[in-house]
Amino acid sequence: MSNTKIKSALISVYHKDGLAPIVQKLHSLGVEIYSTGGTQKFIESYDIPVNRVEDLTSYPSILDGRVKTLHPKVFGGILARREENHLNQLKEYDIPEIDLVIVDLYPFEETVKTTNDEILIIEKIDIGGIALIRAAAKNYKDCVIIPSMDDYDQFLSILDDHNGATSLEHRKYFAQRAFAVSSNYDTAIHQYFAGDNVEQLKVSYNEGKALRYGENPHQKAQFFGDLTEKFDILGGKALSYNNLVDVDAAVNLMAEFKDYEPTIAIFKHTNTCGLATRPSVSEAWDAALAGDPVSAFGGILISNTAIDLATAEKINKIFYEVLIAPAFDQDALELLQAKKKRILLVIKNFDQQSVTYKTLLNGAIAQNADMSTQVASDLETKTKAQPTQEQISDLLYANICAKHLKSNTIVLVKDQQLIGMGCGQTSRVDACKQAIDKAKRMGFDIAGSAMASDAFFPFPDCVEIAHKAGVTSVVQPGGSIKDQLSIDYCDEHSIPMVFTGTRHFKH
């Protein structure tokens, strides 16, 4: 099909940035322009004549601007097929053909991010703009739709290269873009009203960024979202699929420790292999690295405290993929940036998504994120022996660690340092033995340590194994019909055991 010349255009946009070159080009091509409100005034400021939509419809903009373009004389010109029957109807009702529609919607998502004022948010739900986008996209064989300011540059190039004409291929492409914009917009509105409701799942992101590959080199992958809302990226190679998965796990864990004294965590394959809290960030690094210096190679590092030069000099001695912190001292940053491939991220916030989901089988599952974090008042002592304040501190610390490791998991913590962990095991006993073995191999003295389990102990075997290794306090959710067996063992050996009442499976 040959190119179709644009003879008339309807323009109604929120953001005017980048619009001037387009309207100037359209004017130079002799295109008749229809507009209203602020867009009309903007175009006229360039001494370009505009046909007012109010004059076309014989109705003014009403209801504080809520109704401007919703009229048969507007939508008839957009939706009419360029065939005899439809063209005769346009002529009968004195409706002009509209070959081009340019829209930029009210910024609903941006408004939700910047205010909790429901009145302001609701007023940013675009009605006329969405209708214009859908109408023009539906009739893409005869009308071209530019649905967002993000499409201005590409459309201007087409105008320049094709002397004001578009091909069917162009129009179909912009129709696809239009429905992407409209579906994303409607999904954002649905999510605002749905909140944390997981009974319906609607997910939409406008733009995707191609990644080098997925989990493995033979898999293609994209990231959907805006990382700049979360991080300032200070250098290094592009984040990979696996990097992003690990970074997500790291941020979720550190959100729990963001208000602690200096804390550093080291991640490998989404699991914590080092974690410690100390009076200084340099000491926290030493203690976290001691948890497993071998696994730290190629890992993801995260701190809740600014990285100073002393810490940077130590970190710089190992190979790592990503380092995340709320800030970097200038001299530390200069040192770290010397290694060009190391990814440095300044985290802006520890906000977490309240709903998580994943695809499986022929559908998807969604759930409220596990935002439950236990504090001292949540602990119920089940044994005769009462935990000391120091033990409570380590038990809560260990419980957080267990929450963020793959099930089945057992965690050993001593003096706010992860000294051993077993995770991803099919048997809780195996996880317990793995945690003890790792602590010993890393040279830690297990005596006096606290143990956490992500789920209940069905038998007392784990408690017995841990006690014989030196564990002196235990935290678990409880809930087994045989809880008393573990309690009895602890009572026999004067070990304080506390229940949280909250399981933290992670698959």
Note the pLDDT tens digit of each residue in 60-74. Answer: 777 777 777 778 888
| Secondary structure (3-state) at 467 | helix
The type of residue at 99 is D
Catalytic residue list: 138, 269
**115 pairs with which residues across the strands?**
none
Per-residue pLDDT tens digits of the chain, which is 507 residues long: 468 899 999 999 999 999 999 999 999 999 999 998 899 999 999 999 998 888 788 777 777 777 777 788 888 889 888 888 898 988 888 889 999 999 999 999 899 989 999 999 999 998 889 999 999 999 999 999 999 999 999 999 999 999 899 999 999 999 999 999 999 899 888 888 888 777 777 787 877 889 989 999 999 999 998 899 899 999 899 999 999 999 999 999 999 999 999 999 999 999 999 999 999 999 999 999 999 999 999 999 999 999 999 999 999 999 999 999 999 999 999 999 999 999 999 999 999 888 888 989 999 888 999 999 999 999 999 999 999 999 999 999 999 999 999 999 999 999 999 999 999 999 999 999 999 999 999 999 999 999 999 999 999 999 999 999 999 999 999 999 999 999 999 999 999 999 999 999 999
d(CA 87, CA 46): 33
**Under 8 Å between Cβ of 140 and 100:** no
Half-sphere exposure of 342 (CA within 13 A, CB side): 22
d(CA 433, CA 45): 76
d(CA 487, CA 497): 7
Instruction: For the chain, give the percent of residues with pLDDT over 70.
Output: 100
| Secondary structure (3-state) at 302 | strand
C-alpha distances in Å from residue 84, one per residue of 87, 136, 384, 416: 5, 19, 91, 79
Closest CA to 260 of 452, 400, 354: 400
pTM above 0.85, yes or no: no
**217 pairs with which residues across the strands?**
none
Angle, alpha carbons 311-316-317 (nearest 5°): 110
Half-sphere exposure of 418 (CA within 13 A, CB side): 32
Residues in the chain, total: 507
pLDDT at position 306, please?
Answer: 97
Helix (H) or strand (E) holding 322: strand 320-325
